Amino acid sequence: MTESRYLLAASPLALAALLAASPARADDPPAPAPAPAAWSDNIKFGLQLEGGITFNPAGPKTNFGQLFTDRPNVPLLNQMLATVSRDIPKDASDWDVGFRLQGMYGSDARYTHFLGLLDRTISNRYQLDLVEASVSVHAPVLVGLDVKVGGYPTPLGFETIDPSTNPFYSHSYIFNFGLPLKHTGGLAVLHATDFLDLYGGIDTGVNTTFDRGDNNGAAAGVFGFGLTLLGGKLTALALSHIGPENPSLRGNQPLGLANANRYNRYLNDAYITYKWTDALTTTTEFNYVRDDNPLVNAEAWGIAQYVAYAITDSITLNGRAEMFRDGKGFYVASFPGNLDFVNVQEGRVNTAIPGPHATYGEITLGATWKPTLPKPISGLLIRPELRYDTTLAGPKAFNGGKDKGSFTIATDIVLTF
């Protein structure tokens, strides 16, 4: 015992170690709690680049049936996407506020404009676009209530403007011709239960803003529901957007429609995703569109089947088979001019080429490779694909009207920082 006391007294380091290992006494003050994260700590800055090329051996001026990949045999800078955002956590249980500001430069901007906002700033192939400028609020109502106000991409449809969330470089007929792309207004999502979400909102219409940025004088709305079942293995989203979308006849819209506000366009979309195994996932999408425009009284419908099979954590095989019926030749078209898509929506003179009355089919096979790279790169996607488009028992719509089918080979790269 005497020797032990002597050693402790002679060794300050040993004494400190002994005290550190001793349990805290009841009267010791508790350790201070970590300071809560500041609201601004969750603000993120992001940059994403997408570029690709689509080869068409027939050498047409445009790839009919495709919009974002419509320029054959030339490399495209599809998107430079810059984002500043604060996302509300998915498990938020109290009041919270977030925002998203996202801008784009690239060839995709020809098709993603809000009317009246940057849509005529540049008239060449590469244009500027404000993809989103919105504020979101989470409220502790039932399981949760999320409200978004501003300009934002549509909640309808399986494919998105953001290429990093899509299985392919090229888009489906449903995405190109059967859905809106963006809205200006407000959207509420009520998480009624752990498995049921209810959607409702009001906006200025398809791809529109306010005043001269709205091609008519009427409002539109969106409603529907989402389901999450079987522990998340089965999800479904069914939404409708209803409102007048034809341009009004006025001075700067000579191709507009008299009394356009009277005639609604109904865009309905539903998709179901099921995760069969850790590797195999399927998605089935249904689409129905109708326009009350008395000059055409047009409707279209489509169905698309997606299959994804993950070979490894970094390689996934993808397939898409689709049928899209445009019985009046009203929805499917090509837009050779860089401002044609905007001009058509605004009822201005344009060089757009409407498609024939036809049922279109396409099959796309591809792969996604996601190699792991060091910082500051946070993600890389390389997506080669083979695609075949055709008219089913219909007219020759492809390769300048020469062929009933079109074969394309494409690849893109999506780089995220």
Asked if the model's pLDDT at residue 366 lies above 60, the reply is yes
Give the pLDDT band (50/70/90) at residue 36. low
Give the pLDDT band (50/70/90) at residue 145. very high
* Residue 251 Ramachandran class (φ > 0 left, ψ -120 to 50 alpha, else beta): alpha
99: in domain: yes
18: in domain: no
| Secondary structure of 123-159 as H, E, C letters | CCCCEEEEEEEEEEEEECCCCEEEEEEEEEECCCCCC
Token pair in block for residue 333 = 């078209």
Average pLDDT, the chain: 91
36: in domain: no
Asked if the model's pLDDT at residue 151 lies above 50, the reply is yes
State the pairing for strand pair 234-244/220-229. antiparallel
Asked if the model's pLDDT at residue 109 lies above 60, the reply is yes
Give the whole-angstrom CA distance, residue 152 versus residue 187. Answer: 9
Asked if the model's pLDDT at residue 374 lies above 50, the reply is yes
- Give CB contacts under 8 A, 24+ apart, made by 282-286: 282/306, 282/307, 282/308, 283/158, 283/308, 285/157, 285/158, 285/172, 285/174
pLDDT at residue 162, as a whole number: 97
User: Quick one: average pLDDT of 40-57?
Assistant: 94
Q: Each residue of 314-342: pLDDT tens digit?
A: 999 999 999 999 999 999 999 999 999 99
26: in domain: no
Number of domains in the chain: 1
Give the whole-angstrom CA distance, residue 68 versus residue 74. Answer: 13
10: in domain: no
User: Quick one: average pLDDT of 268-294?
Assistant: 97
112: in domain: yes
pLDDT at residue 39, as a whole number: 80
Give the pLDDT band (50/70/90) at residue 10. very low
pLDDT at residue 22, as a whole number: 45
Q: Which residues contact 273 (CB under 8 A, 6 or more apart)?
A: 234, 235, 236, 281, 282, 283
Q: Which residue range is the domain that position 308 belongs to?
A: 42-416
For residue 77, give the CATH number of its domain: 2.40.160.10
Token pair in block for residue 86 = 């604060």
pLDDT at residue 42, as a whole number: 85
Q: Which residues contact 353 (CB under 8 A, 6 or more apart)?
A: 333, 334, 335, 336
b/e map 203-224, b = 16+ CB within 10 Å? bbbbbbbeeebbbbebebbbeb
Q: What percent of the chain has pLDDT over 90?
A: 84
Which H/E stretch holds residue 340? helix 340-346
Give the pLDDT band (50/70/90) at residue 32. low
b/e map 26-51, b = 16+ CB within 10 Å? eeeeeeeeeeeeeeeeeeeeeebbbb
27: in domain: no
Lowest mean pLDDT among 23-37, 57-71, 111-125, 323-337: 23-37
20: in domain: no
> For the chain, how are helix, strand and coil distributed in percent, rounded to 5?
10, 45, 40
pLDDT at residue 106, as a whole number: 98
